[in-house]
Amino acid sequence: MTDSPSTPTTEPEQTPATSQAPAAAGQPFSAPKGVPDYVPPASAEFHAVRDAFVARAHEAGYQHIELPVFEETGLYARGVGESTDVVSKEMYTFEDRGGRSVTLRPEGTAGVIRAVIEHNLDRGQLPAKLAYSGPFFRYERPQAGRYRQLQQVGVEAVGVDDPALDAEVIALADRCFRTVGLTGYRLELTSLGDATCRPRYRETLQRFLDGLPLDEATRTRARLNPLRVLDDKRPEMREMLADAPLMLDHLSDGPREHFETVTGLLDDMGVAYTVNPRMVRGLDYYTKTCFEFVHDGLGAQSGIGGGGRYDGLMAQLGGQDLSGIGFGLGVDRTLLALEAEGRCVGTGRRVDVYGVALGAAAKRRMALLVDELRAAGVSADMAYGDRGLKGAMKGADRAGALYALVLGDRELEDGTVALRDLGSHDQEQQELGDVVRVVGERVAQRR
């Protein structure tokens, strides 16, 4: 990567009120704490990654869905789960001027299912296959790779409970990462069971946890959501939990067969994975297949994407009792992972052709030429202001252009323009009336 986004500060937060002083009068403003800017040239990579992910989703038949950035707060409380960190600690919730409680979307799945129900997409051809991209908001403690405004590309395949769809979604996520050149990641997979086995397993796990000398906070967590205790990273807890019963060993026949079919299909497709029966996802709606893509070059915030199946979510949100599966891929973390691997995506080229005009009349003609080039589908820009030949040629280099068109009074009189190849530095005169065609052909050859 040529440049990093302005990485949010990583120092521990004091109190929200004192962590970022408002800009004093006359002083410049900073972006909110934990919110990255993507400015050129790094923004080109942001674009390239996001667009590549979206393109792979469209190739697999997922159609774009554009959703509100804020929703009624209850959607997340009911959809994502009151006991999750995301809902209980991290939501940007506020009352609007009409006294309604609204929340900036912390994730995409609940909003997609809300829209599927509201617009009857579950009454059409199933599965409804939908893709989205954009910002999500979580009031987390900022760290490298943990932002308060995060960017995801996600898909949801709604309405069909078929393990082949699980395999499709997982293989699609894998293809997304590979398509941008990422290699140093692994895929972890498990099954969280369903209503036929999870309640029974939960009791078994709770009984096991009741027998351990847990601290008060962990005991409370165990009561609220015992599965989440399995994710405790403290060494003493890991030791105590070594013999904990695992969901994967307590699946009933349906979910077990489902999981075996998914792993079999991934084997067929050559998608490498490891089974991690201790995986805990931070959102409550998951059932059966769950997965995470983990990158080792990112330190603590290693999850570059994740997802899973959600059997009960649609019914919980007031719709039909249909299942779905999807993923959210972290664009910010993918960029950091690419940087950790020393890889670059995108060409770094701002335009293909850069116009340099010397003198007022030449400038006027160049403005027309650049407009004609754009109309012919060639990306083009030109030097503005009085920069002189040297300064203007520097602009051409900075734009990463393939060609410069140089026009002075003499050329204008002759009806020609100098076409300079900025790689080889070869220069030739071209007829002004013909140059759009010539440049168009050359640029097309080099794409």
* Nearest approach, Cβ of residue 321 and ligand HAM (Å): 18
- Alpha-carbon distance values, 352 to 188, 272, 292, 396, 439 (Å): 42, 39, 39, 9, 9
* Nearest approach, Cβ of residue 101 and ligand HAM (Å): 21
The response to whether 281 counts as a known ligand-binding position is yes
Residue whose CB is less far from ligand HAM, 151 or 416 = 151
Burial of 307 (0-12, 13-18, 19+ CB in 10 A): buried
Closest by Cα among 373, 355, 363, 358 to 422:
355
Residue whose CB is less far from ligand HAM, 140 or 421 = 140
- Alpha-carbon distance values, 113 to 124, 129, 183, 306 (Å): 14, 11, 32, 18
Residue whose CB is less far from ligand HAM, 85 or 421 = 85
Residue whose CB is less far from ligand HAM, 240 or 329 = 329
The response to whether 45 counts as a known ligand-binding position is no
Residue whose CB is less far from ligand HAM, 121 or 443 = 121
Closest by Cα among 272, 7, 304, 36 to 182:
304
The response to whether 239 counts as a known ligand-binding position is no
The response to whether 108 counts as a known ligand-binding position is yes
* Nearest approach, Cβ of residue 105 and ligand HAM (Å): 10
* Nearest approach, Cβ of residue 440 and ligand HAM (Å): 40
Residue whose CB is less far from ligand HAM, 128 or 240 = 128
The response to whether 138 counts as a known ligand-binding position is yes
Residue whose CB is nearest to ligand HAM in the complex, by number: 330
Residue whose CB is less far from ligand HAM, 334 or 416 = 334
Residue whose CB is less far from ligand HAM, 232 or 292 = 292
Residues in contact with ligand HAM by CB under 6 A are 107-109, 138, 140, 145-147, 150, 152, 154, 156, 282-283, 303-308, 326-328, 330, 332-333
* Nearest approach, Cβ of residue 214 and ligand HAM (Å): 26
* Nearest approach, Cβ of residue 86 and ligand HAM (Å): 7
**Cross-strand pairs, 428:** 419
* Nearest approach, Cβ of residue 99 and ligand HAM (Å): 29
Cβ-based neighbours of 236, under 8 Å, separated by 6 or more: none
* Nearest approach, Cβ of residue 324 and ligand HAM (Å): 8
Let me know the angle formed at the C-alpha of 21 by 17 and 25, rounded to the nearest 5 degrees. Answer: 135
* Nearest approach, Cβ of residue 7 and ligand HAM (Å): 11
Token pair, residue 381, equals: 């820009």
The response to whether 109 counts as a known ligand-binding position is yes
Residue whose CB is less far from ligand HAM, 303 or 355 = 303
Detail the residues annotated as belonging to a binding site: 107-109, 138, 152, 156, 281, 285-286
Detail the residues annotated as belonging to a binding site for L-histidine: 107-109, 138, 152, 156, 281, 285-286
